[in-house]
Structure 1
Amino acid sequence: MLADDLVNLRDIMANKLYERDLQLWIEQTINHLKNGEFASLDIEHLIEELVDLGKSEKNALKSNLKILLGHLLKLQVQSDAPETMKASWYSSVLEHRQRVLDNLADTPSLRRFLPEAVEKAYGDGRKLAIKEGKLAKFGVRVPKERDYPINCPFSIEQILDEDFYGS
């Protein structure tokens, strides 16, 4: 009975620490792992954190793809925009493409998720491009919503190609 009570007490303390101070919980979990103290691990929360970490990586990829695709679309649809406007779109494409490439370099297994991520991010990127396109001023043509393709017009190779800018 005493052993069961100790296990229950350990679980209660781990739960309280997890809820009270996540950073300290992480530090203790790392120490338990380094020291081979597997019985001391808060397995339930450790699994939860690992699942969230995987989601976070995927969300970062989708977020950068959304902006990258939105600005590639703007460069394609609003190719007649003044160079001063397009300059910021080019900068955004460079920045967010590099973030995507960094994501993939840091976590190569995300390449398997890339087609799904592009599919999920494209709709939001399209909405972004449409909304930003409606903000055009100073005689710049405002594209119609139908000018923006419903399905992603770019291949994954184009999206990742550091010399591709939507046309």
Structure 2
Amino acid sequence: MSKTLYDQDFQIWLQQTICHLQKGEFSALDIDNLIEELTELGKSEKRTLESNLMILLAHLLKLKVQHHAPPSMKDSWYRSVIEHRQRVHKNLRDTPSLKSYLETAIKEAYSDARKIAIKEGKLAQFGVRIPQESKYPKSCPFLKEQILDEDFYGNG
């Protein structure tokens, strides 16, 4: 079986596809691979949003549950919340249609965020109290509005 340009060099395939589209040469398009790439692009946008939400939620959860962590640890979590919340806002700004997916994305991201918070909590050292797993809610304790609120840090 001979390899197609798509299989041999994706970047050249992409450039040629763009060129064919710009020139209106629709019969020259590799339709099957173009459909596959466009489908993956949509999934990629959703995965990026979920990934940013996962880290944001993990650190909001740690700030909510791990009250006895030293300020240096909490400062790191605050910085992460700020960064990943900004990334979520950028995801939603760049792809406004993701707003309709946000509730689902939060649900998808939360279980992994909870696992991260629990596992990272167990790595605490220097006499830091490690919360029991039951202290971490099984469903997301934050409202969508809180997650997006630039002044919300889960600990108040």
* Common fold: TM-score over 0.5: yes
Q: What is the identity, as a one-letter code, of the residue corresponding to 2:54? A: K
Q: Which residue of 2 aligns with 1:26?
A: 14
Higher CA-based Rg? 1
Deviations along 1:32-59, whole A, 9 cap, x unmatched?
0000111111111100000000010000
Provide the C-alpha distance between the structure 2 equivalents of 1:48 and 1:84, rounded to a whole number of angstroms: 46
Q: Can you give the 5+ residue segments of structure 1 that lack an aligned partner in the other structure?
A: 1-11
Report matched runs for 1:64-143 at 5 Å: 64-143=52-131
> What is the CA–CA distance in structure 2 between the aligned matches of 1:113 and 1:24, rounded to whole Å?
33
Alignment length (residue pairs): 155
Distance 1:102 1:80 in 2: 32
The alpha carbon displacement at 1:79 in A equals 2.0
Corresponding residue of 2:147 = 159
Q: Give the fraction of aligned pairs with identical amino acids, expressed as a percent.
A: 64
Amino acid in structure 2 at the alignment position of 1:115: E
1:81 is displaced (CA, Å) by 1.3
Match of 1:3 in 2: none
Give, as a single letter, the amino acid of the residue that structure 2 aligns with 1:117: A
Look up the equivalent residue of 2:154 and give its one-letter code. Answer: G
Deviations 1:72-92 (A, max 9, x none): 000000122111110000011
**Corresponding residue for residue 29 of structure 2:** 41
Q: In the aligned structure 2, how far is the partner of 1:119 from the partner of 1:150?
A: 11
Structure 2 regions of 5+ residues with no counterpart?
Answer: none
Q: CA deviation at 1:139?
A: 1.3
| Amino acid corresponding to residue 103 of structure 2 in structure 1 | P
Distance (whole Å) between structure 2 residues aligned to residue 92 and residue 79 of structure 1: 17
Instruction: State the alpha-carbon separation in 2 of the partners of residues 98 and 116 from structure 1.
Output: 19
Hey, what's the Cα distance between the residues in 1 that align with 2:62 and 2:16? 48
Which amino acid counterpart does residue 68 of structure 2 have in structure 1?
Answer: D
Higher relative contact order (CA 8 A, sep 6+): 2
- What TM-score do the two structures reach when normalised by structure 2? 0.96
Quote the residue 2:5 is aligned against: 17
CA distance in 2, matches of 1:44, 1:90: 45
* TM-score normalised over the length of structure 1: 0.90
